[in-house]
Amino acid sequence: GQQVMQIPQYQHVQEGEDFTTYCNSSTTLSNIQWYKQRPGGHPVFLIQLVKSGEVKKQKRLTFQFGEAKKNSSLHITATQTTDVGTYFCAERMEYGNKLVFGAGTILRVKS
């Protein structure tokens, strides 16, 4: 079945440093969604990308969808301690609307 690979598995950064997580697929993705899960919390929707080459920004977060729609990235500029958590990418399947999640990237921020 369709799989979305996500790297890195884990990243520990100093506060103020940048952070990037990547999702890759061997097949064309119809769309990509990003979620954030705080420790002990539940996933919270961040963004959905659907167009080839799309770039969206939310304050310090920049989301990109590759030209071939086979990869996506989430970049955080100047991380803060409030950014800690696990970031998941997910493809929303056109049939049934279900989500197929990547493995997630755990972000820890040292202050």
Partner 1 sequence: SAVISQKPSRDICQRGTSLTIQCQVDSQVTMMFWYRQQPGQSLTLIATANQGSEATYESGFVIDKFPISRPNLTFSTLTVSNMSPEDSSIYLCSSGRIYNEQFFGPGTRLTVL
Q: Which residues bind partner 1 (CB under 8 A)?
A: 1, 33, 41-45, 48, 88, 92, 96-104
Q: How far is the CB of 16 from partner 1 (least distance, A)?
A: 27
Among 81, 35, 47, 78, which Cα is nearest to 60's?
A: 78
Minimum distance from CB of 100 to partner 1 (Å)? Answer: 8
- Of 79 and 105, nearer to partner 1 (C-beta) is 105
Measured from the CB atom, is 27 or 45 closer to partner 1? 45
User: Judged by CB, which is closer to partner 1: 14, or 97?
Assistant: 97
Asked if residue 3 lies in contact with residue 93, where contact means CB atoms within 8 angstroms, the answer is no
Amino acid 72 reads S
Burial 85-97 (b: 16+ CB within 10 A, else e): bbbbbbbbeeeee
Give the nearest distance from C-beta 22 to partner 1 in angstroms. Answer: 15
Question: Minimum distance from CB of 30 to partner 1 (Å)?
Answer: 10
5 vs 78, which CB is nearer to partner 1?
5
List CB contacts of 111: < 8 A, sequence separation 6 or more.
15, 81
The span from the CA of 24 to the CA of 58, in Å, is 22
